Amino acid sequence: MERLRLRHPGGETAIWAGSGALAAARAELARWVAGRTLFVVSTPRVLALHGQRLAPLRAAAASLHLLPVPEGEEAKSLAVAERLWNDMLLAGGKRDSRLVAFGGGSVGDLAGFVAGCFLRGIGFAQLPTTLLAQVDAAIGGKTAVDLPGGKNTVGLFLHPDWVVCDTALLSTLPRAELRSGLVEAIKMAALLDPPLLDRIETGLGPLLAGRAGALAPVVAAAAALKIAVVERDPDERGDRRLLNFGHTLGHAIESATGYQGLRHGEAVAYGMLFALRLARRRGLPAKDAARVAALLGRLELPPLPPLEPPDLAARMARDKKASERGLVWVLPAAPGRGAMVEGIGWDEVTAELAAFLRQPLAME
């Protein structure tokens, strides 16, 4: 178990990562909520599985109010956010109240957005319960909700005071959720940390089985990578954009499917496979593209539903990462090195999409 720190323009976030992290952070979290009104944003499923772990916070806070939200992307709407704001106001929430996100990436995105806007901002903490959230989504201060036209299109940067990534919570995850989270770890490893990619390749079986001993060093390594990138580029104007590898098409796939049938990490995996095709056209050695594609193939991704290239292209054009000059693609250039590439024409993108949708795992 490791204790890390993320320094950002607003101060510092303490990050605990590993098995037993909640117990290790208990005393400091209790002081953080002592005598305060505490709001906990979570889902009924997470509360049923892990709600007893909130007992120390309940004992320390002046009062604790559970704010249940739907599972998955359905939680990330302005309507749900408005309901939470009203509930918090009626419960007596104040500028010095606290909010805890207790769940996966969608819960964290929504809860951070709600905390950042309520009374112009209250302190919040992330207690992520999925692998995807522990390796990526809970760290870095991104918060957002969705609009019908695109994912994460309304949001703000707000760093949590605390992030506690207890890998003991991951034992209850289904294999598909572990697969989804591993995609985000592979994303970072492919562009930033070849030794981490080696670890995931050699230990994929135990990782997909949810073994805490295998997951703990991967979570800690991914957290350290994310911290280093965010500290260099807190507002995502430079190198932090590398962490969007696979997300441009991934978000379009999620939107096109109505956020049904594929988990976020699974959609990102397909986005990475497509980006590898574009990278091959720009000099990425075939063996390096094949290595990442083979690892993603070992995850046994669910098949893509029927999708149309023009529709996906239109959705990518509305992506929040698009600029007035067009899309910037994150493409691997070599093991451990990525690049932001502009100027890829829509004709090439649409033609490549047609070939990709026929054979997503092929690299030629």
Residue 33: inside a domain, yes or no? Answer: yes
Same domain, residue pair 255 and 106: no
Same domain, residue pair 164 and 271: no
Residue 159: inside a domain, yes or no? Answer: yes
Contacts of 113 (CB under 8 A, 6+ apart): 81, 143, 144, 145, 154, 155, 156, 158
Same domain, residue pair 281 and 150: no
**Count of the separate structural domains present in the chain:** 2
Last residue of a domain, one of 141, 171, 201: 171
Residue 161: inside a domain, yes or no? Answer: yes
pTM above 0.75, yes or no: yes
Residue 167: inside a domain, yes or no? Answer: yes
Average pLDDT rounded to a whole number, residues 238-250: 94
For the record, the structure tokens of 93 come out as 């929430």
Residue 64: inside a domain, yes or no? Answer: yes
pLDDT of residue 323: 62
Same domain, residue pair 155 and 30: yes
Same domain, residue pair 256 and 161: no
- The model's pLDDT over 175-226, given as tens digits with 9 standing for 90+, comes to 999 999 999 999 999 999 999 999 999 999 999 999 988 999 999 999 999 9
Same domain, residue pair 165 and 79: yes
Residue showing tokens 């649409």? 350
The domain of 100 spans 2-171
Long-range interactions of 83-86: CB distance < 8 A, separation 24+: 84/39, 84/41, 84/110, 84/114, 85/114, 85/117, 85/118
Same domain, residue pair 257 and 127: no
Last residue of a domain, one of 114, 144, 171: 171
Same domain, residue pair 31 and 150: yes
What confidence tier does 320 reach under pLDDT thresholds 50, 70, 90?
low
Residue 203: inside a domain, yes or no? Answer: no
- How far, in Å, CA of 32 to CA of 35, rounded? 9
The catalytic residue positions are 120, 142, 184, 226, 236, 240, 244, 247, 251, 264
pLDDT of residue 325: 61
Last residue of a domain, one of 146, 171, 196: 171
Domain at 265, CATH number: 1.20.1090.10
Residue 15 has pLDDT above 60, yes or no: yes
Average pLDDT rounded to a whole number, residues 328-338: 95
Indicate the average pLDDT of the chain.
Answer: 95
Domain at 115, CATH number: 3.40.50.1970
